[in-house]
Amino acid sequence: MAEMEVKGGKGSPRVDLTPMVDLGFLLITFFMFTTTMSKPKAMQIQMPFKEDKMEEKDKSKVKESTAMTILLSKDHRVYYYYGIGSDAANPPKLEITGFKDQGGIRDAIIAKKKEVQALVASGALAPDDKITIMIKPAENSTTDDLIDVLDEMTINAVPIYAVVDITPVDLEFINATENANGE
Q: Residue 82 maps to which CATH number?
A: 3.30.420
How many domains does one find in the chain? 1
Residue 31 within a domain: no
Residue 84 within a domain: yes
Express each pLDDT in 152-170 by its tens digit. 888 888 888 888 888 888 8
Residue 57 within a domain: no
Question: Residue 4: its pLDDT value, please?
Answer: 56
Residue 5 within a domain: no
Express each pLDDT in 132-154 by its tens digit. 898 999 888 888 889 889 998 88
Among 149, 73, 140, 147, CA closest to 104? 149
* For the chain, percent of residues with pLDDT exceeding 70: 80
Between 22 and 60, whose confidence is greater?
22
Residue 174 within a domain: yes
Alpha carbon distance 85, 134 (integer Å): 11
Residue 88 within a domain: yes
Q: How confident is the model at residue 58 (pLDDT cuts 50, 70, 90)?
A: low
Residue 133 within a domain: yes
Residue 7 within a domain: no
Write 91-96 long-range contacts (CB < 8 A, 24+): 91/172, 91/173, 91/176, 92/173, 94/173, 94/174, 94/176, 94/177, 96/177, 96/181
Domain that holds residue 113: 62-180
Express each pLDDT in 8-35 by its tens digit. 656 677 788 888 889 999 999 988 888 8
